[in-house]
Amino acid sequence: MKQNRIDFNRILHSYKTNDLEILRQTTLMIKNIPMKFSQNDMLNIINEQSRGKYDFFYLPIDIKTKFNMGFAFINMTSPIFILDFYLEFNCCRWIDKIQYCNSQKYCEIVYANMQGIQECHKELKNKSIMKKNDKRIKPIFYENMLINPIDVNAIIARYSFDASFKQYYATKLN
């Protein structure tokens, strides 16, 4: 992956080519987040279309300033959910997402260096942030998230996947 860039078409066809590198990539970094956005602001925006499609979210906050650091991490429960997420957020202006925002920044979505929910757990397990009581600044892990077949079927229809894709994902959901 060149500079962790997302290749939309490669994700789209990864099931046919059995592209294990892509099929194992589920953790994204959201870049250029306006500093005043809170974790709650981000989750409200993300949940409009991606509720139930991710099992980890973390918006690092500077403890002294109480502002975010300009980036966040999200782990999608399946690489197929990256398609909609990428189209929704990559290159969008934050001012177009949140009415009260005056930022002219453009969001960028790339693969994170850490990949998968287990690696997210491992990376953060011994960090001091995990010992904090304030849930507004702690990483969020949603345990035992299941992939909803209705969400997968909607993506199949939206991107005109063929029958072999549906069969591929049917085996993954069982």
**pLDDT tens digits along 35-85:** 888 899 899 999 999 999 999 999 999 888 889 999 999 999 989 899 999
Distance CA 64, CA 62 (A): 6
Residue 141 DSSP SS3: strand
Q: Identify the bridge partners of residue 93 per DSSP, sorted by sequence position.
A: 106
Higher-confidence residue: 23 or 60?
A: 60
Per residue in 127-159, pLDDT (tens digit) is: 877 777 777 778 989 988 888 888 877 887 777
Token pair listed for 74: 């999200």
Q: How far is CA 27 from the centre of its chain?
A: 6
Per residue in 118-128, pLDDT (tens digit) is: 988 888 888 87
pLDDT score of 85: 94
Residue 94 DSSP SS3: helix
Higher-confidence residue: 54 or 21?
A: 54
Distance CA 164, CA 60 (A): 40
CB 73 within 8 A of CB 30: yes
Q: Is the pLDDT of residue 174 over 50?
A: no
Segments making up each domain of the chain, as ranges: 2-145
Distance CA 17, CA 149 (A): 22
Distance CA 19, CA 73 (A): 23
pLDDT score of 55: 94
Token pair listed for 133: 């009581």
Q: Is the pLDDT of residue 3 over 90?
A: no
Q: Dihedral, CA atoms, 115, 82, 91, 94, nearest 10 degrees?
A: -90
For the beta carbon of residue 24, count every other beta carbon within 10 angstroms.
Answer: 12
Rounded to the nearest integer, the mean pLDDT of the chain is 84
pLDDT score of 170: 54
The domain over range 2-145 is classified in CATH as 3.30.70.330: yes
* pTM of the predicted structure, to 2 decimals: 0.85
Distance CA 158, CA 166 (A): 13
pLDDT score of 108: 94
pLDDT > 70 in the chain, percent: 90
